[in-house]
Structures are given as structure tokens and as C-alpha cells.
Amino acid sequence: MSVQSSVKRVTTHVLSEMKLKGEKISMLTAYDYSMAKLVDEAGIDVILVGDSASNVMAGNITTLPITLDQMIYHAQSVVKAVQRSLVVVDMPFGSYQGNSKEALHSAIRIMKEAHADAVKIEGGSEIIESVQRILSAGIPIMGHLGLMPQSINKFGTYVVRAKEKEEADKLIEDAKLLEEAGCFAVVLEKIPAELATRVAANLRIPVIGIGAGSGVDGQVLVIHDMLGMTQQFSPRFLRRYLNLAVEIKEAVGKYIADVKSVDFPNEKEQY
């Protein structure tokens, strides 16, 4: 029996057992009650309340505008729906970069007000003091390296990261630093598959990839992308499992036609 199928509730310990056994970890984002319920019931291991909510829920161009209060609102809705998956909540831009005290305060708010299982935070050596302080309060952290969308204004582009040796070396050091500090997992976004495989092989903690190839310990995608709701976003790493944008528009089109023609509601659909 797999580790995943034998557990009532996925914990950080379960994820580390999965890595030990070579069982891949599945992770998807969710931002609201209804979607989180479906994803949890389908058997996902980890639900990420990602700050990608800023893009797909709020319509912002970047993840920067979403606030801590808004992340907590999304997380509260997700946590209410989830019975089995581990719920990880992104610490939004501006909630941890100032200093480690502020970072701890933000992480405590997420845990206390949303009842999350863990937080996710972007960065390596630059934020290690905050990582240590949050961990010392007993709050589990998932790291995030490679393409870090909260730093898009510094990068200036969403192209593949760490292709050059200097950046790859820093990423390897940062991943080790996060593991040594006590993070339970790390996300690697949009980096060469060969580098991601090397990092996963050299860490004891699970490495979850997005655009990082198959040699890591698990995969994460944004649910709106994998369900085909976001039509403009088409990176090479994205596999679409549905074309919901088309299906939703067809359904709405039929509804409009039925309302206009007074086909809806019929006699059985009224009191």
C-alpha cells in the first residue's frame, strides 16, 4: 500500500515518508471552499493557497498586490473544505521581507486566523533570519526557489532561472540552507530539469517542482491553468487536463439562449 493511500490526514511527516519511499507528491492550488473540497476529495496530497490568487482570482498582473488579509480570507475558505490534504498558505509580498519579527507576526496570523498547516515563503539566504524565527515558533515552512514571482520586478522577466552556473550554485546553497534551517519541503519553479534533479537528490526534504522536470519528488500546478480556465497562459511546462474555458462559455451561452427563448425555467423547474 502506498504511504499516501494509507493516511487519514497528510502531514509534513507523511510527505517525508513519501520521499523516502520514492512515492511522488501531488500538489495543486485552491483558493475557495468549493474547489478545495473537490481537490481534497480527489485525493491530492497538498493544497497550496498560492499568492497566484492575485492573478487568477483578483485579475492582477503580478502576485505583488495581494494582501495578508486577502490571503487569510482565501485560506479560511479552503481550510473549511479540507479533510485530508495538507494546507500550505503563501506568505504574500510585503508580509515577511521587512524583518523577522514582522515575518513571524504574519505567519502567526495565517496559522491562528486560517488554521493552516504550514506557510510557504519565497527566497533563500536573504530571508533566512525570518525563516529561522518562524520555524522556532513551531510553524512549518515550505521554501520556494528558482523563479520567485514576488521578485518579478528585480528579474524583469518570467524566463527560466538558474541556467548560468553562478545562479545555479546560489540556488543549491539556498536549498541546503533552507533544509538545514528546518523547512519541511521546497518548491523549485522554472529551472533546468537537470539542476532540479540534482537538488532533489542532495536534499532529505521533498522537492516539489513546477517547470522543473520529473526528477523531483512531486509536482505542483495552478488549478486554473491545469483545468484550462486561463487561456492566455501557455508555458511549456503546463499540461491542461480540461478545457474548462470553452466548456464554461458553451454552458453560459446555452443558458442565455434558454432564458431569452423562455425555455428556462420549464414547468418542472418552478413552484
Binding site residues, ligand KIV, CB under 6 A: 29, 48, 50-52, 90, 187, 189, 210, 220, 222
Backbone angles phi, psi at 90, to 5 degrees: -70, 135
The single residue of 102, 122, 189, 194 carrying the catalytic annotation is 189
Least Å distance between CB 2 and ligand KIV? 23
Of 153 and 270, CB closest to ligand KIV:
153
Angle at 90 between CA 34 and CA 179, to 5 degrees: 130
Asked whether the bond before 265 is cis by omega within 30 degrees of 0, the reply is yes
Of 10 and 142, CB closest to ligand KIV:
142
Least Å distance between CB 19 and ligand KIV? 18
Of 4 and 55, CB closest to ligand KIV:
55
Burial of 246 (0-12, 13-18, 19+ CB in 10 A): exposed
C-alpha cell belonging to residue 23: 512515492
Of 51 and 217, CB closest to ligand KIV:
51
C-alpha cell belonging to residue 258: 434558454
CA distances from 54 to 57, 114, 161, 252 (A): 6, 18, 22, 25
For the question of residue 250 being annotated catalytic, the response is no
Least Å distance between CB 162 and ligand KIV? 16
Least Å distance between CB 93 and ligand KIV? 11
Is the CB of residue 37 less than 8 Å from the CB of residue 80?
A: no
Q: Which residues are part of the catalytic machinery?
A: 189
